[in-house]
Structure 1
Amino acid sequence: MPSSLPSPEPTASAASASAVARLVRGLRGLPPAEQWWGEGCAGMAGWFRAESAPTTDATARYRELYAEVRKGRPVLPMEARRHVYLLVKGLLGEELFGYLEGNQQRLERRGLETREVQVDTEASLAANIEVVRNALEDAAFFGRSVVLVGHSKGAVESLAALSMYPQLRRVVRAVVSIQAPYGGSPIAHDVMASPELRRVMDIAVPLLFYGVSKSIDDLSYPQRMEFVRRYPYPVEIPTVSLATWRDSKRSMLWPVARYMRERYGLANDGLVAAVDAEIPGSRVVRLDDMDHAEAAMAGLPGLANYRPGDITEAAVALALES
């Protein structure tokens, strides 16, 4: 005879497992745009352009440098060896195999001194700004000049440190910002604006990555608007920003890129709208065939169009021309 005992209450671990399962399902691809509710972040992408210094299109020059790099020809100026290159990883960078390794190894093969800034890639923006600040203060103490190379959230943290601490700007020779969600990220915004997905992130990010969900919330549009308006980026620092997009089923980020394109009509790299990666006052490189993963991780043959080392070498050469 079936038992009439009531079902036990779910344990905390069971609730966490359920939340993780929902997260994993969600990461397989966002639903079609028409199934989403509310206004989302329509009209917010590129919000800062009307309030900021204009950019300069350096795409043609970048392509010239990139072509030379691909042929194995030297493009870095003689001064390149006088600087130390600080690389800053983006969100979840510590969890991704080979992340930024190709970028760093290429610079080292060219005889340049590099260091990885030890940010916690799942920590808040405020926490990692202080880590970048400390790295720049160390360089200043030893009389070194710095080229900052940041990818995604790591670029945002690099830019933010220079915005908040004017005394550090004299140490920095140039900045290379690769696919930074400077204005915000539609994906971060929509995830954190959804009560259900936000609850999942509040549980899953600490449980799976020992981080904080604020690391995602910091990239939403309201958070970025508040920060950038309070701490505008100093346009006197020579800066190159890569703003990219890719609309191809060969991209591993195609489902997410398709969501942003269909819902908001945005050219994007799968995580960041291209317009949000154009740093005020910078020399902008606009590439229509690169997704968010290609700039920092080695792709599969036939699927990726670029190699991280080539991208970085050409971008550094461009930044040092200023």
Structure 2
Amino acid sequence: MFMIGVPAVKPVVGEVRPASIVAAAGIEPGMEIVGVGDKATGDWESVTYALISHLGDDSMKLKLKAANTSYVVDKTLQLDGWKFDPDKESPIGSLGIVPLGGKVLPVVEAIVPNSASEKAGILVGDRIKRVGEQEVTEWAQFVLEVQQSPEQPLLLVVERAGSELTLTLTPDVKKVRGQLVGFVGLSPQLVPLPDEYRILLQYGPLQALWQGAEKTWSLTTLTFDMIGKLIGGVVSLDNLSGPISIAKGAGSSADYGLVYFLGFLALISVNLGIINLFPLPVLDGGHLVYFLIEAVTGKPVSEKIQEVGFRIGAAILMLLMGIALFNDFARL
């Protein structure tokens, strides 16, 4: 992966949500996260892994650097009651951080033929100024109004060639997760993230090998940490995933490119390797326990005891797989 080159983005805070954990800590937009606890962070992925390791803690220290300076400040986040659903939000977003990214402007970039937008007379280049009684300064505001108004006429004010026009837009309707939502068939104008915030993690063979080993060790320690939190009840059993989620994750990562697919395979490989070392008799870890007992006692474990151990191990493994499969089907 590191020889091919891993695209990454500097962990710069784009927005801070009001009344959030990071807002209470005094973190401001434009700050770059250079460390979480005692771990240095150079991109958003490393920030995410570092944040997850602090689940269940009372507090967490972030090291941040203000824009255009080298001065680093420490901010302490109070994590009382901090929890998040990984199926709905990221650990970064749950703290109230919106990463700096490309901007989505309320300007029409493209229109789907025969869509509600085309029927309303919207043209490419129109800037959406108001929808209903809502002033539109961000694209998300327009999307929310449309989604909440399926098949309901909306008065739309657009700016075209320096003049404002009033149009009537009636969103079409579609069902999403059992709910009826509106859609109008147009896409916004995107302003990409400046290159100064993009980085490419690419190294020569020897350095790539070292970086890969460090990354593997980081994933290994994180996995053990999460297993401990799972046993301790800090992390819910609902977070367990099975083959269906793995297949979906593999497909999604492959859509982004070879590097991301390799990264997903590495993550799964590390997890499976660790699980295989669990001291359950049906796994390699169980066989190692039997070998250790034989080395200490000087004689092998009796076949009867091994058979009982295999049955118990198989039952525990099947129970875990059952929970994982149930979670997979619940997410469909």
TM interval, short-chain normalised: under 0.3
TM superposition score normalised by structure 2: 0.25
- Larger strand percent: 2
TM-score by length of 1: 0.25
Q: Which has the higher contact order (CA 8 A, sep 6+)?
A: 1
